[in-house]
């Protein structure tokens, strides 16, 4: 290819460089610096995101337990809340019919890592009194324990591990 002054230029046509291909050292270092700066800004946000996500899941769990208690009172029959699948809480009446369902894998700002129910079922009798039980929610290094006591009071405790 002939240049504007009649001198021959190397490289492939349309490459714009004289035989060189790839990125220069300056371009590579600039890209790495921008990526590392972006990671410094985004990484701390993960903790905030985990905190919001688990707080929302805990509020939804509290509402689900309150709804189960109110269902037992309104219909004058016992109900129980149990874990169905990996991240789904179900309220089941005395006849085995599912009354309410809460999918904590989809309800929060992001999925929870795991859920435990101890004992395996939280029960409410026809007067709204419950069996003592806890539902543990985990995400990242955070956890929330949603507790229901024998008179049906529900509260939550946050913890880190």
pLDDT value at position 41?
A: 78
Provide the domain count of the chain. Answer: 1
On whether residue 154 sits in a domain, the answer given is: yes
pTM to 2 decimals? 0.70
On whether residue 50 sits in a domain, the answer given is: yes
pLDDT value at position 13?
A: 55
pLDDT value at position 7?
A: 52
On whether residue 20 sits in a domain, the answer given is: no
Query: The domain containing residue 116 runs over which residues?
Result: 32-160
Distance between CA atoms of 108 and 85, rounded to whole angstroms? 17
What is the phi/psi pair of residue 15, to 5°? Answer: -75, -30
Nearest to 101 by CA among 82, 119, 115, 74: 82
Distance between CA atoms of 73 and 80, rounded to whole angstroms? 13
> Could you tell me the mean pLDDT of each successive run of 10 residues in the chain, 161 residues long?
53 56 91 89 73 89 94 94 89 92 76 89 92 91 92 91 81
């Amino acid at each position: 290819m002939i240049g504007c002054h009649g001198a021959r230029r190397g490289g492939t046509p349309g490459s714009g460089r004289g035989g060189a291909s790839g990125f220069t050292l300056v371009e590579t270092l600039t890209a790495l610096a921008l990526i590392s700066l972006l990671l410094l800004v985004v990484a701390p946000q993960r903790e905030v995101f985990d905190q919001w996500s688990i707080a929302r899941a805990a509020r939804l769990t509290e509402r689900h337990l309150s709804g189960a208690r109110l269902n037992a009172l309104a219909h004058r029959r016992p109900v129980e809340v149990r874990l169905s699948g990996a991240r789904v809480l179900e309220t089941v009446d005395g006849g085995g019919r599912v009354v309410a369902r809460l999918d904590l894998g989809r309800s929060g700002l992001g999925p929870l890592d795991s859920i435990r129910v101890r004992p395996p079922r939280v029960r409410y009798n026809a007067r709204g009194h419950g069996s003592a039980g806890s539902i543990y929610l985990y995400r990242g290094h955070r956890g929330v324990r949603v507790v229901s006591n024998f008179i049906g009071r529900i509260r939550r405790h946050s913890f880190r591990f």
